Amino acid sequence: MQQDGEWFIEYKKVVGNMRKIPVIIDTDPGIDDAMMLTYACASEELDILLVTTAAGNISQDKTNYNARAFLSYIGANVEVAQGLDKPILRELEVAEDIHGESGLGNVDLPAPTLPCSERPAIQAMVETLLASPVPVTIVATGPLTNIAALLLAHPEVKSKIKVISWMGGSAVGGNMSPTAEFNAYVDPHAVEIVFRSGLPIVMSGLDVTHKAYVTVEETQRIAAIGTDFSDKVVKMLTFYLGVMKRTPFHAENYDSTIRFHDLCAVAYVLSPELFEGQDCYVEVSLDGVTAGTTVVDYMGASGKTPNVKVLHSVKREAFVEQFMQAVEVISTRIK
């Protein structure tokens, strides 16, 4: 596999005449998913072909509604297709305790003007991929249920997928159990299917996302923008931080910083130079007390060929600056 970021820099050169990187976003909004959509929709380098919704942070009906409501609010004109209601072989476990009952903390958005697509997510992904003249990047920021179902049912689309950039997993320590990260824990069988697909995969796990944070002081820069949108962003982030401080499992790790977990998956697509990672062989534990644990062979002890690029570091200040610019762009766009 090529060195960190090289293949994507080459990819951007190849599609340079198109001026944009074609992407499908699979998401489960979720506060940090909303931050990711802000970043993605503010970029002039992305061509968002489709948004599909996953069940994860909250149930499928809520994630689809939130995606449509948030994208409508920020003026994004994109098809939003509803994905599967539950993991492949497990019952769905949601994170309403973290994101609030609605999924977006205590922020109320106007009713969505974007309709739910008449095409189910898998059908929409297949048709979008096959119609694209160049391979498409998939950015996934929830459990990998939809992506796994796509690959199982339609292996013929693999050649139309450039890379899967996923927020999930962890090499060292979890946030759903001592060893498992939430998105991997919710549907480990989906992770297994995707990781064995032979496709290029970038894993933005907790190892890097815990370093991709804004401070309370930095959120004041967002507040100073002084728009309805910036106010809603600050309100969501403040809710997120408050929940973390009240949650015993997280309290010691979340002092005055707010992790932008999902933002990393799309930030890597746009700015791979901000990240450092390593090509590793990765397996996932499917059941028992370690269910959802992504076992990363950093040392190459297994002798198996690397199948995932595992990100572990980010240039935080530049990362935050890009997010600040994204909030300003969206604020200006919807005034």
Q: Which two tokens stand for residue 215?
A: 């401070």
Catalytic residue (choose from 99, 189, 210, 261):
261
Please give the Cα distance from 125 to 154 (Å, whole number): 10
Q: Which two tokens stand for residue 13?
A: 């050169």
What the block records as the tokens of 167 is 């927020």
Amino acid at 169: G
- Measured CA to CA, the distance from residue 147 to residue 83 in angstroms comes to 10
Contact 239, 232 (CB under 8 A): no
Active site residue 154: no
With beta carbons less than 8 A apart as the criterion, state whether 30 and 66 touch.
Answer: yes
In angstroms, rounded to a whole number, what is the distance separating the alpha carbons of residues 117 and 101?
A: 24
Give the closest residue to 25 by CA, choosing from 56, 52, 57.
52
The pair of structure tokens assigned to 178 is 């001592």
Rounded to whole angstroms, what are the CA distances from 237 to 108, 134, 185, 232? 14, 36, 24, 9
Compute the distance between CA of residue 170 and CA of residue 39 in angstroms, rounded to an integer: 23
User: Which residue in this structure is represented by tokens 């040392």?
Assistant: 299
Which three-class secondary structure state does DSSP give residue 146?
A: helix
User: Looking up tokens 């309403």, which residue turns up?
Assistant: 96
CB atoms within 10 A of CB 85: 12
Q: What are the residue numbers of the active site?
A: 261
